[in-house]
Structure 1
Amino acid sequence: MDLAQPSPPVVQLELSAMERQPDEHAPLNGAVRLDEAALPAEANKESPWSSCNKNVVGRCKLWMIVTSVFLGFIIVVIVGLCLAG
């Protein structure tokens, strides 16, 4: 005996495109919306990573020196483990 269950009917919904209403331009809480003119002022803020791009010695930047010290330490540890083994 075959107890195959019939599949449920498939319901397809059509989505309609919503358009902005004229009264949607003002926020409900009365807050002032930022203008596009205020955005470039925020772009002039110094990023938190800018200190890593400062030149320390010649053309070497701070991130290059930190990375070199870290990689040098790892290489010394690996060579030390190889010689000890």
Structure 2
Amino acid sequence: MNILSAEFLLRIVHEAIPDVYFEFGASVPAADLAVHVLDYLHKKLEEMCLVQGGEEEAYLMVLYMYVGSLLPYIEGLDSWLFDGILDDP
């Protein structure tokens, strides 16, 4: 099975989202969801960093997802710290 298959990506995304999010009528604060997703992706990167032998593509895929998830927060901090603009919708 190709590690970068659709099943692999679906598993990563599904595991990153807390189970309570899928329960009927459940309400998950956005901050809690963001923390859970970023924490999961960070832990997954640490696990995959130790794996050797042809799985560097999978590591890069999870790294791309992690950086993409962090980007809005980094951009917000950048505009706040360097431009003095705090845009918190």
TM bucket by the smaller chain?
under 0.3
TM-score by length of 2: 0.26
Whose strand proportion is higher, 1 or 2? Answer: 1
- Per residue, is there more helix in 1 or in 2? 2
Task: Give the TM-score normalised by the residue count of structure 1.
Answer: 0.27
